[in-house]
Structure formats: C-alpha cells, structure tokens
Amino acid sequence: MTPLDFRSDTVTRPSQAMREAMASAEVGDDVLDRDPTMDALERRVAGLLGKEAGLWTPTGCMANTIALLLHLQRGDRFLAPAQAHVLGSELGTPAWLAQGMPEALPWEGGPGRITPMQVWRAAGGAGPYYTLRSSLLCLENTHNFAGGTCLTPAEHRALVEQAHARNLKVHLDGARLWHAAAAQNASLEEMAWGAETVSVCLSKGLGAPMGSVLCVSRDAIEAGRRLRKMLGGGVRQGGVMAAAGMVALDYLPRIPEDHQKAKRLADGLRAMGFQVPVPETNILLVPVPDAPAAVSFLEEARVRVLPVGSALRFITHRDLSDGDVEEAIARVGRIADRLVTTWEGQRPMI
C-alpha cells in the first residue's frame, strides 16, 4: 500500500518540468556579480508582493533570521502570536543570533489571531531610558500551528497600522502567504501591505525542493545580502534553484485545489465523528486523546501525519490527488475507533 503523506506541504517532489528548468537554467556567480535567474526570481517575487527588492534564501528559517537581524538591536523585544514558527520552531535563533527578547501574544482574536489592541498594549510607550524597548511585530500568515488560519487583508492592515503607530517595524512570516491570499481572494500585495519585510517559501505547497524569498526595501537589500553571506547562504550558481522557484510560482492559481482537498478531508473525518473545524487553507488539525498513539496507528494504516500539540496535523498539497484524499478517508475510517482512545484503550473522546 503506497503511503499517503499528509505530514507537510514540503514533502512534494520536483515535477519533471521543474527538473528540466533546473537543468537548463541560465546561471552566473551570484556572490561575485549576481546570477541572472536568481535575479529574475527575486524581482518577480518582490513584484508580486509589492516590495522593492527580494533576497533568495535556501530556507524560510534563514529568511526569518535575516529579517530579525535587520530589525532588532541586542535586547530588543519583539512581539509575535503564540506558537508562531519564529518563536518555537527555529531553534531559538531569534535569541541566539538576532538577540531579541520574544513576547508571545495569546490568540485573543481567535485561532492564530492577535488584535490591534494587544499590539498597542504589549508595545508599550517610549518610557524612560531604563524601559525595555519593543521594536518589532512578527506576524505569521497563514498561521501554521493554529491550523493554517489566515488574517484577512483588513485584519492584517489594522495590525500593521497599530504596530507603526507604536513605532514597531513589522516582519511578516508569509511561508504560506500564497495560501492566505488564495483563501481570502486577495492579492499577495494586499496581504503583505505595510510590512517592512516579508518572507515567503517556494518549498511549501508550491513544489520547489528549496528556497524562500525575503522581500525588503531597496535600502535594506545590501545589508540583507551581507547577512545572508554571514549565515552561509551566499550561493554561486543559484540559478539552478531559482529556476525551480520560477516553475513553483506557476502553481499559484492551483492553490485553491489544495484548500478544497483539506475541506473534503475535514468533511470525511467529521462524518466519522471527529470534531474538526472547517479548514481555512490547506492545514487541518484533528484533536485526538493521544496524538503520538494516533500517529503510529495511522502510520500502520499508511497515512502519514504529524502531531501538533494534542491534535493530528494533516496538510494537503499538490502531490496528493483528490483520489488520494478519498483513499485516506477510507483508511482512517478502518481504524477510527483506535484513534479516539488512548494506548490503554480508555477515555474515549467521541
């Protein structure tokens, strides 16, 4: 039985067209005097987001780290919604490398959502010289660990405006900004409005084997490029990877298909009695009483998922077809009773 891999939208394999584009990419030495394909990709992504410049990085973590390094001075506090990737999933680099003090804001506006009032309160005023300084708001859209929830353009704008009114800069971790824009039927430019820096990932849902782009202002691009080099992210014939990124962007119009698959999966699981929300994008969280046990039962049934807190995280993507989703529903159905109990077979959930 072929495994059906819902662990992440990063598990996709490069398509044949992508491999061919990589093989025939026009390249240069990006560290010495730029690589033409890299340059074209960075310009294209910056253009899509309405920003002045783009900086390719091998990973989303590196893009976020460069952004924080650009914005923070040692000891500065930065605000982010609870469970943001930058807080809990980047091995402490915001503190270790960017030397920032994280402040997690609880989701007062709903799953993954913070409110402008919270930003206002947490930012604090200028205060006397001994006041802790807050200088940055990090947003995440869509919010991965909240289950792919997305801010509307209006919510995003209100948060940015409030941050700016409090003299905070804004970094947007938009690893899946593509999904937020598709779900909101909004342009990427609207979704990125006002943020000084925005990172987007070409390897999440779009099918590239690697690559993110950090969009910044024209003034910040040189500093960003220096930081990337310091972190070991200066690549030479980067056009080989950038070519994959170019092909990945062609998938943007098809993102709604992945959202539909997540909805269908949710409907199928709900019909079995699982209490699942209607997914806003391509991520579905399914609460279970014993997530590690449920993951291993599903693994035996050849459905691969990851635990997120006390839930199972299913992510739909381009390498899972509609038929695969139906097959996954059938496989889960065969072991559903085991998923709603613990290892000890106690505490049935539904």
232-291: contacts with ligand PLP (CB under 6 A): none
Closest approach of ligand PLP to the CB of residue 176, in Å: 6
Q: Which is nearer to ligand PLP, 87 or 246 (CB)?
A: 87
3-state SS assignment for residue 232: coil
Closest approach of ligand PLP to the CB of residue 245, in Å: 12
- φ, ψ for residue 329 (rounded to 5)? -60, -45
Stretch in the footprint of ligand PLP (CB under 6 A) among 58-66, 121-129, 147-155, 219-227: 58-66
Count of residues near ligand PLP by CB under 6 A: 12
Mask for 95-134, x = binds ligand PLP (CB under 6 A): ----------------------------------------
Stretch in the footprint of ligand PLP (CB under 6 A) among 54-62, 108-116, 190-198, 295-303: 54-62
- Cβ burial 129-147 (10 Å sphere, 16+ → b, else e): eeeebbbbbbbbbbbbbbb
Strand residues in the chain grouped as ranges (E): 4-5, 53-57, 77-81, 101-105, 134-140, 169-174, 197-201, 212-216, 283-287, 303-304, 306-308, 311-315
Work out whether 171 is an interface residue with ligand PLP (CB under 6 A).
Answer: no
Burial classification of residue 273, based on how many CB atoms lie within 10 Å of its CB (0-12 exposed, 13-18 middle, 19 or more buried): exposed
Work out whether 93 is an interface residue with ligand PLP (CB under 6 A).
Answer: no
Q: Measure the CA–CA gap between 316 and 141, rounded to whole angstroms.
A: 17
Residue nearest to ligand PLP (CB): 60
200-239: contacts with ligand PLP (CB under 6 A): 201, 203, 212
- φ, ψ for residue 312 (rounded to 5)? -95, 135
Contact 231, 8 (CB under 8 A): no
- Of 132, 133, 151, which is closest to residue 141 (Cα–Cα)? 151
Closest approach of ligand PLP to the CB of residue 86, in Å: 7
Work out whether 188 is an interface residue with ligand PLP (CB under 6 A).
Answer: no
Closest approach of ligand PLP to the CB of residue 14, in Å: 15
- φ, ψ for residue 256 (rounded to 5)? -55, -25
What are the counts of helices (DSSP H) followed by strands (DSSP E) for the chain?
15, 12
Work out whether 61 is an interface residue with ligand PLP (CB under 6 A).
Answer: yes
Query: In the numeric block, which tokens belong to residue 64?
Result: 């976020």
Q: Measure the CA–CA gap between 252 and 131, rounded to whole angstroms.
A: 45
Stretch in the footprint of ligand PLP (CB under 6 A) among 16-24, 60-68, 246-254, 341-349: 60-68
Q: Which is nearer to ligand PLP, 118 or 212 (CB)?
A: 212
Q: Which is nearer to ligand PLP, 66 or 339 (CB)?
A: 66
Work out whether 179 is an interface residue with ligand PLP (CB under 6 A).
Answer: no
Closest approach of ligand PLP to the CB of residue 211, in Å: 8
Work out whether 173 is an interface residue with ligand PLP (CB under 6 A).
Answer: yes
DSSP string, 117-156: HHHHHHH----STTSPPEEEEEEESSBTTTTSB---HHHH
Mask for 129-158, x = binds ligand PLP (CB under 6 A): -----------x---x--------------
Residues found near ligand PLP in the complex (CB under 6 A): 59-61, 64, 85, 140, 144, 173, 175, 201, 203, 212
